[in-house]
Amino acid sequence: MRLIGANELIFPVYDGNGMYLSLGNLATTRNVGLLFIDFQMPRRLRVQGSARILPQSGLTNDYPGAQHVVSVLAASIYVNCGRYIHRTGALSYSPHVPDAAGRQPFPLWKRIDKIADSLNEKDQREVAKAGGPIELESYRGEE
C-alpha cells in the first residue's frame, strides 16, 4: 500500500490463483472495505471507499511483477476495535477473548472521546469508572 494523496492509496495486484475474484468484484462494484491489522500493537484501521483499476502506466513499473495497480479513494477512515487480535508470536490469546466465565477487560476504544456519546449507559458508566474519555490521538490499541 502506498498513500498518494490525503485520501487516496494504491496497491499492486499480483498473480494469484487466476480466478481474478478481487478484480472481478471491482468490475461489478467499486465499493471496497479495507482492514489494516497491526499484530504487534493490537489495533486495526478500517478504510471504506471506492476503487478502480488504473490503466497500465509507470505505476506498474514501481511494483515488479504486478499485473495491475488499484487506486482506492477513501470516503471514511476510522479505528476498528483490535481487542481480539492475537499478537504475532504470542503464546496466549488476546486478553479480550472472554474467559470461561465470560469475563473480559473493558475495551479501551470505548473511551475514545469522539464516540463517547454513542455508547449505551452501562458503557458510559464504565468509561467514567476508567477515568473518563481519552482523545483519539491517545488511543494506541488494546493491550
Residue-by-residue pLDDT tens, the chain, 143 positions = 899 999 999 998 876 555 567 788 888 889 999 999 887 777 888 999 999 998 776 776 777 777 789 999 999 998 887 777 776 665 666 677 667 776 778 888 889 898 888 888 988 999 999 999 999 888 887 76
| Greatest extent of the chain over all pairs of C-alpha atoms, in Å | 57
Domain 2-80 sits in CATH at 2.30.110.10
Cell output for 75: 470516503
Query: Is residue 107 classed as helix, strand or coil in its secondary structure?
Result: coil
Cell output for 108: 479501551
Given this model, what pLDDT does residue 61 score?
74
Given this model, what pLDDT does residue 56 score?
74
Give start-end residues of each CATH 2.30.110.10 domain in the chain.
2-80
Task: Reduce the secondary structure of 91-137 to three states and give it as a string.
Answer: CCCCCCCCCCCCCCCCCHHHHEHHHHHHCCHHHHHHHHHCCCCECHH
Rg value, the chain, Cα = 19
